[in-house]
Amino acid sequence: MRNLILAAMLLSSPALAQEPIVGQASVIDGDTLEIHGQRIRLHGVDAPESRQPCSDASGAPYRCGQKAAMALSDFLSRSTVSCQPLDLDRYGRTVAKCFVRGVDIEKWLVSNGLAVAYRKYSGDYIAAEDEAHAAHRGIWAGQFEMPSDFRKAKVR
């Protein structure tokens, strides 16, 4: 009985009951898109903030969040993106799992070292993160601060 009540609650959630959001996406930052004026927070990933500094393998500084956003924009190009809403975040943005040309966008970001698995909210991309880390891809090639830690430090 408890499972039936939980299932009914999940199905009645406005975010979960929504149809997919489909269209050309604008990249807001490395983990946020906008389609038809609707902000979409990518599920299960956390990308560095746009002004977040990182250093590459040689120790040279670069803005890793800006790099993530630009790489995501190039990857999406002008292709149609399809996002399946899962939830709403505390800022009222739709949290969704998104695909372009049949590719899981979140997995692509993490696999390329442009974002980390957001373990606080999902375990979906831990294997992709482990693989990117072992291969020293993207942010894993040098030094960086976890995006959530960077945000916390900026609030103080």
pLDDT tens figures, 44-61: 999 999 999 999 999 999
Is there a contact between 50 and 147 (Cβ–Cβ < 8 Å)?
Answer: no
Summarised one tens digit per residue, pLDDT across range 58-88 is 999 999 999 999 999 999 999 999 999 999 9
Which domains, and CATH codes, for the chain? 13-155 (2.40.50.90)
Q: What is the pTM of this model?
A: 0.87
